[in-house]
Amino acid sequence: MSNDRPAGEDLAAFAKRAGQLAGWAARTGFEFTRKLPGVEIAEQVIKQGERQLLSELRRRLDEVDDPYHAALTAASAMNRPDTNGSRPVEATITLVHTRAQLEPLRAAMAELLNHSIGFGRERAREYLYAIILRQLTPDEARILSALSDGSPFPAVDVAERTSLGAAGRFVLRNASTVGKAAGVSLPDQVPGYLTRLIGLGLVELDEEVPALETQYEILLTDETVREAEKSVKRAKFVKRTVHISRLGAQFWQACDPSAG
């Protein structure tokens, strides 16, 4: 691969390659054919390829300019003595400001401001998506993939019912069947995953959908929901739906490994 390609293009290319195997498995019902002759060996090859691609993708993501990492590295270098132990080595960092040294947080802000000068819309969008991508766990990526077609999934909060029948103290938020549908590795962490995805602006909550009543009933039997229900004297369930947001749809369109 040529070193002259922009980092953004390399990042997109590796993201696309990293997801092609997973996309192929989903389209062909890979899980249902594991017992066929030779499939076990093929699965090992696929997993090895995925590991190599994800390792390279992680390296590419680490190459995305991170102002916080740059600032903290600079701060660390400022306080590191030279080989003689006589004085600290001063780190050099290009900033909009003229001050020779800045505290790490101020340096990070200066880095962001410095980036903003030369960023156009496309570069700014690429930077935003790369930063978001770096924060996602594999399970969260699966959830986003499951939501990517715009379909809503049931979600429920568990609260302690007050004497007036209202919701008091909440003991669980954002439990949902989307985790099971997505095949996450840690089903008990789905409420936390959704909370993070909502915080990133990739996912939104909406009103209860009566047409999903059967799925709500299934969700109420979920172990995480049942444990939360047992933790209060009288439980009140607040039913909602979860779906991908506008930003989430745009982010997925840019990062979807099966597209292109």
Query: In the numeric block, which tokens belong to residue 9?
Result: 């293009």
Tell which CATH architecture fits domain 138-255.
2-Layer Sandwich (3.30)
Q: What is the pLDDT of residues 97-127, one digit of tens each?
A: 445 456 778 888 888 888 788 778 888 898 8
Helix (H) / strand (E) containing 150: none
**Are the beta carbons of 139 and 184 closer than 8 angstroms?**
yes
Residue 224: is it exposed, middle or buried by C-beta count within 10 angstroms (0-12/13-18/19+)? Answer: middle
CB within 8 A of 152, min separation 6: which ones?
A: 206, 209, 212, 241, 242, 243
Q: What is the pLDDT of residues 203-240, one digit of tens each?
A: 999 999 999 999 999 999 999 999 999 999 999 999 99
The C-alpha atoms of residue 105 and residue 15 are separated, in whole angstroms, by 30
Q: Where in the chain does DSSP place strands (E)?
A: 153-161, 167-176, 203-206, 235-244
pLDDT for position 65: 57
Q: What is the pLDDT of residues 10-32, one digit of tens each?
A: 555 545 554 544 444 444 444 44
pLDDT for position 53: 55
pLDDT for position 115: 77
Total-model pTM: 0.64
Half-sphere exposure in the Cβ direction for 100 (13 Å, CA)? 3
pLDDT for position 21: 45
Domain ranges of the chain: 7-62, 67-135, 138-255
pLDDT for position 250: 96
When mean pLDDT is compared over 45-59, 85-99, 156-170, the highest value belongs to 156-170
Q: What's the length of the chain?
A: 260
Angle between helices 190-199 and 138-147 (to 10 degrees): 70
What is the secondary structure of 218-244 as a DSSP string? HHTTSHHHHHHHHTSSSEEEEEEEEEE
The C-alpha atoms of residue 198 and residue 238 are separated, in whole angstroms, by 17
Q: For residues 225-242, b (16+ Cβ closer than 10 Å) or e, as one string?
A: beebbeebeebbbebbbb
